[in-house]
Amino acid sequence: MPDFMDLMKQASQFKSKMEAMQAELDRLEVQGTAGGGLVAVALSGKGDLRNARVDDSLLKPDQKEILEDLIVAAHADAKRKLESTLQEKMQALTGGLPLPPGLKLF
């Protein structure tokens, strides 16, 4: 029976750690840039777009398509950084324990 109690204790600790990580994700912000910094976006730890910044030099009618492409590229950059950060945090939380592919804990 002690093994079962240890398992329950570990599950409770894991739950507490997951709740703490969820709170940390609410505060986390990741920046993505494109065009050498002419466009920047910020994503929350949960992937929500928080803000976008566009350099004034891109605010010309003939630059519209370039600006749109740079916004998409900056968002993709931020998303890659966020996924990397989340993966690092999850590995730290699980102690390197391999989780099944596709398992989403956030």
Residue pLDDT, tens place only, 31-54: 999 999 999 999 988 888 889 999
What is the distance between the alpha carbons of residues 78 and 81, in angstroms, rounded to a whole number? 5
Average pLDDT over all residues of the chain: 84
Give the pLDDT score at 103: 58
Q: Residue 64's pLDDT band (boundaries 50, 70, 90)?
A: confident
Which amino acid does the sequence have at 19? E
pTM: predicted TM-score of the whole model, two decimal places: 0.63
Top-confidence residue, 94 or 82: 82
Look at residue 64 and tell me if it is in a domain: yes
Q: Residue 101's pLDDT band (boundaries 50, 70, 90)?
A: low
What is the distance between the alpha carbons of residues 76 and 40, in angstroms, rounded to a whole number? 11
Look at residue 97 and tell me if it is in a domain: no
The whole domain housing 27 covers 23-89
What is the distance between the alpha carbons of residues 17 and 20, in angstroms, rounded to a whole number? 5
What is the SS3 assignment for 52?
strand
Q: Please count the structural domains in the chain.
A: 1
Look at residue 44 and tell me if it is in a domain: yes
